[in-house]
Amino acid sequence: MQFRPTIKLTLTLIILTTLFTRLGMWQMERKAEKQELFDRFENAPLMQVEQAIRQEELFARAEAFGRYDAKRSILLDNKIWQGRAGVHVLTPFILADGTTLLVNRGWLPLPPDRSALPEVPGDEFPVRSVAA
């Protein structure tokens, strides 16, 4: 039995090759867009949070002065880090003018049996917080 390509098979292969080449080019364009976003994030200016909100800065390292309301923390469950189950701690941060921001304070491990929640560190006194 000898292989004899048909016109239909040849056209199908040409269409698929064109499609996959275009998809590969699209992926490279997306990579360049993502790299630009990462570069903007890495080189973001440091500014006061009020100024960043006013200027609608998408990428800014915001500096704020206020206090955490640790009694109202939210634990975002089912977060795995380095193979361990844990939670992300989201805590309201109250600025001097009364504005409240929700700050991700990081990840805390859960006990293996999940019998108790992790203890959230409480900072009731005024602090300086810088978010990157």
Question: Could you read off the pLDDT of 77-109 as tens digits, one per residue?
Answer: 877 778 888 888 898 988 888 888 888 888 888
Model pLDDT, residue 69 = 84
Residue type, 58: L
Model pLDDT, residue 128 = 61
Query: Which residue is associated with the tokens 């990462």?
Result: 38
Model pLDDT, residue 129 = 61
Contacts of 127 (CB under 8 A, 6+ apart): 65, 66, 67, 68
Q: State the pTM of this model.
A: 0.59
Model pLDDT, residue 31 = 97
CA distance 91 to 69: 6
Question: What are the extents of the domains in the chain?
Answer: 1-43, 46-131
Nearest-CA neighbor of 101 among 63, 47, 59? 63
CA distance 83 to 89: 18
Model pLDDT, residue 130 = 58
pLDDT under 50: residue ranges of the chain: none
